[in-house]
Amino acid sequence: MAQKGGLELFKFSLYLSIPVVATVLYSSPSNMSKIVDYYRYITYPAEGRKPPKGHEIEHERVYKIIKRRKEEREREEKKGRGWFSWN
């Protein structure tokens, strides 16, 4: 009967020590970064040039495109081929 108590004591100490050890191990940022780097399954390629934001777009180029499309639309309307014509 004394051995049964020893087994229960071992299981109970194991039951308490595993969460405590895991908490101490994972609570340290340096340990956590080492673990994450070691078990990295996916490696992403290096980042390229980021696309321009709204205020960084070349406004002159956009205005030229708008002007060209407007002129093309006016030419089509002068020929009698407007937006809703069946000719």
Tens-place pLDDT, residues 31-62: 888 888 888 888 888 888 877 676 666 777 78
pLDDT of residue 13: 94
Per-state percent for the chain, helix, strand, coil, to nearest 5: 70, 0, 30
Q: What H or E segment, with its residue span, contains residue 39?
A: none
Q: Is the pLDDT of residue 30 over 70?
A: yes
Q: Which residue has the higher pLDDT, 61 or 29?
A: 29
Query: Is the whole model's pTM more than 0.85, yes or no?
Result: no
Region 72-85: mean pLDDT is 73
pLDDT of residue 83: 61
pLDDT of residue 56: 65
Q: What span, in angstroms and rounded, lies between the C-alpha atoms of 70 and 9?
A: 86
Q: How far is CA 23 from CA 8, 17, 31, 36, in A?
A: 23, 10, 11, 16
